[in-house]
């Protein structure tokens, strides 16, 4: 079961990385397009090569229309795509000023309780995200520039949210078994301690 959960988490992380890379390229192209558009409208380009500047402007050289809307929906997906692997590896940021001095057994129980709470919260987020998508779908709202339905962004995020919830339940159950049996099932946490 752990191998399947690990593959699921890694697959979502890879997909999230691909989408994030595409969003970076989209943002860079839009910024370059905006810069080139400004230069083509400038007095230097109009004086040096007005026909070329006009032709490029007619072709639509400029920022990508609706880039903010695409980045917004894509980032929501990306965040939820990275959550399963982050949850599986225990890579959340933590502040362990007080718990660092506690006995190992107490830390194990505390980690189990935190994972159970994490699982409950991630299940709640996934369910509420689905309800939000359903609400937006029923309202017929669209984005301002591209006019695509708002619920599409929610729908893109739902698989990652449910995968994160599934992984968090697996981690919570594994931590519970670790506390009961005393043997380690999951690897140690990799969180960024502060």
pLDDT over 70 (residue 113): yes
Share of the chain above pLDDT 70, in %: 96
Confidence label for 180 from pLDDT (cuts 50, 70 and 90):
very high
> What is residue 188's predicted lDDT score, i.e. its pLDDT?
62
Kindly report the pTM of this predicted structure: 0.84
pLDDT over 80 (residue 103): yes
> What is residue 100's predicted lDDT score, i.e. its pLDDT?
83
> What is residue 151's predicted lDDT score, i.e. its pLDDT?
95
> What is residue 43's predicted lDDT score, i.e. its pLDDT?
87
21-77 pLDDT tens trace = 999 999 999 999 999 998 888 888 888 888 888 888 888 888 999 999 999 999 999
> What is residue 176's predicted lDDT score, i.e. its pLDDT?
95
What's the chain's average pLDDT? 91
* Inter-residue contact 60 to 143 (CB < 8 Å): no
Q: Average pLDDT of 5-19?
A: 97
């Amino acid at each position: 079961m752990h191998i399947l959960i690990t593959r699921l988490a890694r697959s979502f992380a890879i997909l999230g990385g691909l989408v994030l890379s595409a969003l970076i390229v989209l943002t860079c192209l839009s910024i370059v397009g905006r810069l080139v558009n400004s230069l083509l409208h400038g007095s230097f380009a109009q004086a040096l090569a007005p026909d070329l500047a006009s032709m490029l402007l007619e072709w639509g050289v400029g920022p990508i229309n609706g880039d903010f809307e695409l980045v917004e929906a894509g980032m929501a997906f990306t965040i939820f795509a990275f959550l399963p692997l982050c949850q599986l590896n225990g890579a959340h940021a933590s502040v362990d000023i007080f718990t660092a001095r506690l006995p190992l057994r107490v830390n194990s129980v505390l980690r189990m309780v935190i994972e159970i709470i994490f699982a409950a919260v991630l299940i709640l987020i996934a369910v509420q995200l689905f309800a939000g998508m359903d609400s937006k779908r029923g309202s017929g709202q669209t984005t301002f520039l591209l006019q695509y339905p708002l619920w599409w962004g929610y729908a893109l995020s739902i698989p990652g949210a449910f995968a994160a919830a599934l992984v968090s339940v697996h981690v919570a159950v594994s931590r519970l078994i670790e506390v009961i049996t005393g043997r380690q099932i999951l690897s140690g946490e990799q969180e960024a301690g502060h």
